[in-house]
Amino acid sequence: MAKLKTRLTEMFGVETPICMGGMTGVGYGELVAAVANAGALGFITAHMFKSGEELLAEIEKTKKLTDKPFGVNLTLLPSINPIPYDEYREAIIHSGIKIVETAGRAPTDHLPRFKEHGVKVIHKCTSVRHAVSAVNKGVDVISIDGFECAGHPGEDDVGLIVLLPATVDAVDVPVIASGGMADGRGLAAAIALGADGVNMGTRFCATVEAQIHENVKKKIVENNELDTVLVGRSLRNTARVAKNDISVQVAEIQKDPTKSFADVKELMAGVRGRENVLRDGHMDGGIWTTGQSQALIHDIPTCQELVTNVMKQFEEARAKFA
């Protein structure tokens, strides 16, 4: 496999500068271990577990499946039911994990404990100003998420080809390119624009080891760049999700400025997407997240095949530059 050394591979001791960030309903230990064994950096998604104890058990299970580095994602968001973030943090420290990916609000209140225990923090954000603020607060790496991404692209609507180099120019820490990344050409472009690595979410969903329904993987392969919908715009909580009956209905309802979250709450319930779609494969059963990068996804490989192919494509792209 082609070698590419960057500040990211050096900092985390991984073979390739490819990450699989935390994904709700997807980031379980089996997939994370497969990503790690392939030479990339995967993250267990903490908030899928009810307690720090459950998260710790998942970390220990993952350690039995790989001896390579992996991390944990903490997405810091307001929630109706309180999320045990402090428990998660202490479980991570106790486990000896040294890499954490945070998203949502800045991890200000968690940084002192992480720093005390030598845990490096990657913070995912969607704007240059938030990246600068997070670095000033002490995060070690920025993952910058362009408008193409699955999930929450923020409210600025800036594509990665502008957002990435603008962020690289504004901060002095390694930067990971996130949003629209799915192959070796994207990796080559990201490196050329100043990134130290890439984050692939949707691409890792369409792998053999992802524990989601085969129908979802096939749909990602079948979809193109036009098969996503932006919901939550009227609430200033935009999310890019797959186009299906439910997401189209939600987007239509939200065009009416008199409508509130209450009018779409049941349609948008996360549990519907996780259970009906990701678990049971009913593709119109709820809202599920995917990025525009699905236009670049044409197969369902193992994680090892995927990482090897990405690095091979990267070499081919690099040869063109040379």
**CA distances from residue 226 to 58, 79, 154, 238, 295 in whole angstroms, order as listed:** 36, 31, 19, 17, 8
> How many independent structural domains does the chain possess?
2
- The verdict on residue 284 lying in a domain is no
Same domain, yes or no, for 42 and 143?
Answer: yes
What are the structure tokens assigned to 216, written together? 């979802």
CATH number at residue 146: 3.20.20.70
Residues 232 and 86 in one domain: no
Half-sphere exposure (Cβ direction) of 63: Cα atoms closer than 13 Å = 11
How confident is the model over 93-109, as a mean pLDDT?
Answer: 97
Residue 224 makes CB contacts below 8 A (sequence gap 6+) with 294, 295
| pLDDT digits 0-9 by tens, 10-62 | 999 999 999 999 999 999 999 999 999 999 999 999 999 999 999 999 999 99
Query: For residue 2, what pLDDT is reported?
Result: 72
pLDDT tens, position by position, 182-218: 999 999 999 999 999 999 999 999 999 999 999 999 9
Same domain, 79 and 169: yes
269 DSSP assignment: -
Cα distances from 270 to residues 25, 162, 265, in angstroms, run 9, 31, 10
pLDDT, the chain, mean: 96
Q: What is the pLDDT of residues 102-126, one digit of tens each?
A: 999 999 999 999 999 999 999 999 9
79 pLDDT higher than 90: no
The sign one gets for the Cα dihedral 267, 269, 275, 278 is positive
Residue with more model confidence, 241 or 236: 241
Whether 288 is in a domain gets the answer no
Expressed as residue numbers, the domain containing 182 is 7-212+299-321
CA 185 vs. chain centroid, Å, equals 19
Task: Assess whether 57 and 195 both reside in one domain.
Answer: yes
Q: Judge if 91 and 239 occupy the same domain.
A: no
For range 295-300, the mean pLDDT: 98
Residue 51, classed as helix, strand or coil, is coil
CB 201 within 8 A of CB 149: yes
How much of the chain is in helix, strand and coil states, percent to nearest 5?
A: 45, 15, 40
Instruction: Report yes or no on 304 lying in a domain.
Output: yes
Query: Six-digit token pair at 141?
Result: 């790496």
- Average of pLDDT values for 294-314? 98
Are residues 15 and 113 both part of a single domain?
A: yes
Same domain (yes/no): 188, 251: no
**114 in any annotated domain:** yes
The pLDDT of residue 77 is: 87
pLDDT tops 90 at residue 78: no
For residue 317, give every residue at least 6 positions away whose Cβ sits within 8 Å of its Cβ, in sequence order, or none.
184, 185, 187, 188, 189
Residue 47 and residue 11 in one domain: yes
Q: Are residues 28 and 172 in the same domain?
A: yes
Segments of the chain assigned E as strands: 18-20, 41-45, 71-76, 99-104, 120-125, 141-145, 175-178, 197-199, 228-231, 239-242
Query: Tokens for 186?
Result: 């994207």
Q: Is residue 176 part of a domain?
A: yes
Q: What is the pLDDT of residue 81?
A: 79
Most confident of 19-28, 70-79, 256-265: 19-28
207 shares a domain with 234: no
Q: Max Cα separation, the chain?
A: 56
CA torsion through residues 78, 81, 84, 86, sign:
positive
pLDDT range class, residue 3, cuts 50, 70, 90: confident
232 and 314 in a single domain? The answer is no
